Amino acid sequence: MNLRRLLTCGFAMGVSTTLLLFTVHQSYVQNVSYTFNSWRRNDRFLANLHTNNTFRRKDEETFSTTCVPQKKFVFIRTHKTGTTTTINIFQRFAIHNKLKVLMPVGPGILSWPFPPEENEYVHTPDEKYDALMHHFVYNKTWLRSKFPPETKYISIIRQPFSHLKSQINYFHLPKALGIQHTKNPVKKFLKDPWRYRNGSETFFPHVNITWDGTRNPMTFDIGWPAERADDEEEARKYISQLDADFTLVMILEHLDESVVLLRRLMCWELRDVLFYSKSKNSRPYLYKTYVASAKELENHRSWSAVDYMLYNTFNNSLWRKINAQGPEFYDELKYFKRIKDDVSDFCMRTMKGQSEGKQTKVITASKWNPEFEVDKDYCWEITRAKAYDLDLEIRGRGYTKEEMRFSVMTLTFNYRLLHLGLPTFKNTGEASAAGIKGSLFRKRERHNTALG
C-alpha cells in the first residue's frame, strides 16, 4: 500500500515538473522573440551608437569599430595654411564631446609668440585640459606641463611657394620690402631674396623677437626661431623630433586625404570631420596664380630652406601613414569626398533658406560610419567662417568688457603698427591705454577677424 502511494505521488510530481518546464520554455521563447523584434525595431537607433559590436542591415554596408576615440589633442594653428577651415573640425568635436578646452581669456588667439601667462587663459578647477586649438607658437615644454602624455599633437602646413604668395599678399609685405609699385612683387623678390633681408626680417620690441614673413614662417609657428634660419643641420634634427612628436601634420594641398587620415588615427566619426567645402576664404590678388620659373624656385628653396625641409618631411610622413592604412583608404576617401560635397550642398541651401522643406538629411551607414542626420544646427556649425562663433559655444557665454581687453594683439596688427611707425603691444587693453583704438581697431577687425 505504501509502495503504491509512493509511486502515485512520484508520477504526479513528474507531471507537474514537466508542465512547469514547458511553461518556462514557452516564456523564454516569447521573451527572446520580443527582445529580437525590439532590437530590429530599434536598429536605426543602435546604428548611431559608437560600439565594438557590428550591426548588419540589408541595404547598407557594415559599420564596426574596435578603436577608442581620442579626446585629448593639441591643434597647432599655423598662419595662412587653411586653419580657418580646419579649426572648425576641432571646435565641433570639443563642443559635442564636452571637452575642457584651454581657452584664452579674451577673444582671438591664445598667445604670440610665447606661451600665455597665468592670467591670460581660462583655468579649470583641477588645472586639467583636454584640448587646445587657437593660434599658439608650438612650445613642447609648456604644453607637456598642461596636457597628459597621451595627448595627440596635430597641425597643418602647405607648399612653401604657395604659402609665400599668400604671406606677401596678406601681410602687405611688398611695402615693407620696397617693391609695392612692382606689378609682380613675388617675381621681383625671388630674383634675389637676400637683397631684401633687412626689410623681410621684422623685430617686435614688446616681445624682443624677430619674425620673417618670407623666410621659414611656417617653421617659426612650430617653434623654430627666425634667427636660426641658416642653422639647417640643427633645424633638420628639430624637424625630425617634430615628426616623432606629432600624430599628424596635415597638408593643405591634400586636405581630403589628411582629414580622412585624421579620422582614422583619432578614431573619430565621419560627422566629426566633415568640413564645409563651399567656403570663400580665398582672397584674389594679381600674382596668386603666378608660376615661378625654375631659377626663382631654386632661389626660394635656398632662401626658405627650413620651411621646405618641414614640408618635405611631413608630406612624406602623410603618404607613409596613408600607405600603411592599406588600399581600403582610397575607398573611404572617395566616399568622404562624395558625402562632404552632398552635405555642403545641403547646408548651403539650408542656410540660405532654399532647402525646399527638407529639414534634415540622413547619411546612411557605411563601412566607415554609423547613420547620422544633418540638420540646421549641424549646418550652422559647419558653415561658421569665423572661429569666434564656435568659441562662444565652447565658452557658453559672451565676453565681458574686461575680458575683451585681454584680446591678444595679432601678429598681423602689430606688424601694421610697426610700419606706421607705432609701438607694438601685447593685448588690446595695452594698445587702448596707449591711444591705439577707434578706426584703427575697426579696420583691423574687418581685415583680420579670421586668420587662416
217 close to 167: Cβ distance less than 8 angstroms: yes
Q: Which range (23-27, 114-118, 254-258, 331-335) has the least confidence?
A: 23-27
Over residues 112-137, mean pLDDT:
95
Over residues 394-416, mean pLDDT:
94
Rounded Cα distance, 251 and 264, in Å: 16
Q: pLDDT tens-digit profile of 96-116?
A: 999 999 999 999 999 999 999
Rounded Cα distance, 240 and 313, in Å: 8
Is the pLDDT reported for residue 339 higher than 80? yes
pLDDT value for 62: 59
Q: What's the chain's average pLDDT? A: 85
CATH of domain 73-349+375-448: 3.40.50
**Sign of the dihedral through C-alpha 407, 413, 415, 418:** negative
Over residues 343-349, mean pLDDT:
95
Q: pLDDT tens-digit profile of 358-389?
A: 689 999 999 999 999 999 999 999 999 999 99
pLDDT value for 420: 87
pLDDT value for 278: 87
Rounded Cα distance, 381 and 375, in Å: 10
For the chain, domain boundaries: 73-349+375-448
What does the DSSP assignment read for 68-111?
Answer: -----EEEE--TTSSHHHHHHHHHHHHHHTT--B--BSSSS-S-
pLDDT band at 46 (very low <50, low <70, confident <90, very high): very low
pLDDT value for 32: 36
pLDDT value for 359: 84
Over residues 22-44, mean pLDDT:
37
- The SS3 call for residue 324 is helix
Is the pLDDT reported for residue 150 higher than 80? yes
pLDDT band at 23 (very low <50, low <70, confident <90, very high): very low
Is the pLDDT reported for residue 440 higher than 70? no
Amino acid identity, position 144: R
pLDDT value for 86: 97
pLDDT band at 50 (very low <50, low <70, confident <90, very high): very low
Over residues 171-179, mean pLDDT:
93
Is the pLDDT reported for residue 252 higher than 90? yes
pTM of the predicted model, to two decimals? 0.83
Q: pLDDT tens-digit profile of 68-87?
A: 999 999 999 999 999 999 99
Between residues 151 and 32, which one has the greater pLDDT? 151
All residues at 6 or more sequence positions from 403 whose CB lies less than 8 Å from its CB, including other chains: 105, 106, 107
Q: pLDDT tens-digit profile of 255-313?
A: 999 999 999 999 999 999 999 998 765 667 889 999 999 999 999 999 999 999 999 99
178 DSSP 8-state letter: T
Is the pLDDT reported for residue 357 higher than 80? no
